A and B are shown apart, each in its own frame.
Chain A
Amino acid sequence: MAGEAILDLSDLINLATGGNGGTPEQINLYKSGLQNGAALGGTPVAGRLHSMWRWDGCPAAAGQTAPTTAAVPTNATDGSLKQSTPGSGKKKRLLGMVMTGLVAGSVILYDRLGHQGGLSGTTTTAQTTNLPTSALTRYTSGVGVEAWAEIYAIVGTTGTTVKLSSYTDDAGNTGQASQLVTFGATNAREQDRILPITLATGDKGVRAVASVQVTATTGTAGNFGVTLAYPLVVLPIPVPGVGALFSSFLLPGGPRDLGTNSDAALATAWFANGTTAPQLFGSVYFLEK
């Protein structure tokens, strides 16, 4: 029956070698460490999270245009891995990934559930431009869904804080306000920086964001937006060149379920260990059932 669980090791081997409609799929991934053929707009910062959505590579980047109106990226959206959609009624499953890079750091593979842009680093009232975020089409309960402030054009040098001034949590409660997180000034202002937002006490995820508020002006409007993301894999690359492997073989339930008829917009982020862009090289493996 379509969409059912992987039964056992024999079933997994059969599916992963193309039996029973397993449709094994390999996506070869490369990130050059450049943007539009030039140095990154924002130099990586050690210990911070960076979006690779607009970094050149294979499959191709999203281009250099930032999101504007709220949208739901899919596997047809540039910047994503563009893995195929599973057959009708089937679940796409992540088997594993292997990756290496020019420098040490961690690769985060995530499903980009929603994004928008056009927010300002100088407006201190609650901002609703291009908000609310689009309704979730994957992980619709919101459990485990993270909200990130993603910087598309550098904001100002004055350090302040930012919060989700109104969001809907995983229980459907509207009007929730997140914790304040650091925003602006060195290490929290650069292009492609991702600032994960900490949620209000008691919440386990986000369904939608209605407004965002910067506490005080950073001094430069720049451009940032809200990204809703579901992290799937954190793959540490402790030593440049060596690379690392993630296998879902022994995970509870087997290969990670990306959803029935999933059109997941799988993308990568970089948790930097230094200031050099990583030049990632590797592959990601899937099957379906």
Chain B
Amino acid sequence: MALSNEAAYDEALESPFQRARASKNATTVVAGRAYSLWTAGGMPAAGAAPTTAAVPTEATAGALNSSGQNLFNGTNRRILKAVADAALTTPGAMITVCDRLSHQGGLSGTTTTAQTTNLPTSALTRYTSGVGVRSALEIYTTIGATGTTVTTSYTDSGSAAGNTSPAATFGATGNNTAPRFVMLPLAVGDVGVKSVESVTVLATTGTAGNFGVTLFYPVISVPIDDILAVKGSADALFGFGTWFPLLADNACLFFVVHATGTTTGVVQADFLICEDR
């Protein structure tokens, strides 16, 4: 299916399949770094820090599309417009709507052997090839103030197991407080992740805290470039880079935010979802 022409696009904007709204409470951050709003309160209510490996869906508490609104499940659904704003005290943020494919928790910032608690991650049920699927370490409870690095052992999109991700900075200011979302690079040759089998923190950060692995797929990013800004024209043609993001069936949507200042402000967004016609 596709939107066959301009008239179909206009019609889809005027009579969307679903109009959904989300609002997430302000979250303290470090400028320029990625933070997950999965556990941020608001509407829908906060998602829980996971323990055992699981596959979140649109019905999972915390999903942007789980709060008594029409469910997003189905095929050929697209986000055609996002009206997003953030009540910022300093100008600017980029809000990325991501599909949360798999998550788990219970990892420690002080254990320096390969950690397998609640791992491996659950098998992908969306974007199952793994191509373009990204992995991140999501901090649920603050880890330590000592900077170190972290690697994972993962299965790549070619189904080769035992790949080691290049080390990523972990712990210390900017990389230790919840809900920091530490993105992980891939080993040479790789273009995506199917699962993560273990996580190794090179040296103790000083505090165990709690973090976990999240597998995700960025769906659409919307830059917001003003104080108290409303990104009013973030539609597929102009605001998304001529991109018409397709949602996977049962997508579990959540926000990842890069902010300019020390808070995300209250992040709000309205989405227009259409079906191809």
Q: A interface vs B, CB < 8 Å?
A: 8-14, 16-20, 22, 24, 26-28, 30-32, 34, 36-38, 56-63, 78, 82, 95-98, 100-103, 239-249, 255, 279, 281-283, 285
Interface centre among A17, A19, A30 (most CB of B within 10 A): A17
Interface size class of B (residues with CB under 8 A): 35 or more
> Are the CB atoms of A17 and B34 closer together than 8 Å?
no
Residue of B nearest to A244 (CB): B223
| B249 on interface, CB distance cutoff 8 Å | no
How far is A119 from B187 in the complex, measured between Cα atoms in Å? 28
Q: Is the beta-carbon distance between A243 and B183 smaller than 8 angstroms? A: no
Chain A residues whose CB sits within 8 angstroms of the CB of B5 once the complex forms: 10-11, 13-14
Within 8 A of A (CB), among B85-124: 91-94, 96
**Shortest Cβ distance from A248 into B: residue:** B242
Query: For the complex, is B126 an interface residue (Cβ under 8 Å from A)?
Result: no
B 3-34 to A, binary, CB cutoff 8 A, 1 in contact else 0: 11111110000000000000000000001111
A10 to chain B: closest residue by CB:
B5
- Cβ-defined contact, A241 with B132, below 8 A: no
Q: Which of B2, B4, B236, B241 contacts A245 (CB 8 A)?
A: B241
Contact assessment for A101 and B32 in the assembled complex, using a CB-CB cutoff below 8 Å: yes
Q: A16 to B189, Cβ gap below 8 A?
A: no
* A residues less than 8 Å from B211 (CB atoms): none
B142 at the A interface (CB under 8 A): no
Q: Does B82 contact A (CB under 8 A)?
A: no
User: A24-B244, A102-B33 in contact; A19/B3 too (CB < 8 A)?
Assistant: yes
CB-CB under 8 A for A102 and B223, given A16-B244, A19-B2, A32-B168: no
Q: Closest A-chain residue to B190, C-beta based?
A: A60
Residue B166 interfacial (CB < 8 Å): yes
Is there contact, CB below 8 Å, between B78 and A249?
no
Q: Is B166's CB under 8 angstroms from A37's CB?
A: yes
Assess the A59–B241 pair: CB atoms within 8 A: no
Q: In the bound complex, do residue B134 and residue A38 qualify as a contact, i.e. CB atoms below 8 Å apart?
A: no
A180 to chain B, nearest CB (A): 36
Residue of A nearest to B94 (CB): A243
Bound-complex Cα distance A60 to B188 (A): 5
Q: Does B221 contact A (CB under 8 A)?
A: yes
Q: A17-B3, A32-B183, A34-B169 are in contact. Are A95 and B92 (CB under 8 A)?
A: no
* Bound-complex Cα distance A11 to B7 (A): 11
Q: How far is the CA of A226 from the CA of B153 in the complex (A)?
A: 36
What is the distance, in angstroms, from A182's C-beta to the closest C-beta of chain B?
30
Q: Do A100 and B6 have beta carbons less than 8 Å apart? A: no
Q: Which among A12, A28, A37, A78 is the interface contact of B132 at CB below 8 angstroms?
A: A28
Q: Closest CB of chain B to A109's CB: distance in Å? A: 12
Q: Which residues of A contact B237 (CB under 8 A)?
A: 13, 247, 249
Query: When the two chains form their complex, are residues B242 and A60 in contact, meaning their CB atoms are under 8 A apart?
Result: no
**How far apart are A167's CB and chain B's nearest CB, in angstroms?**
31
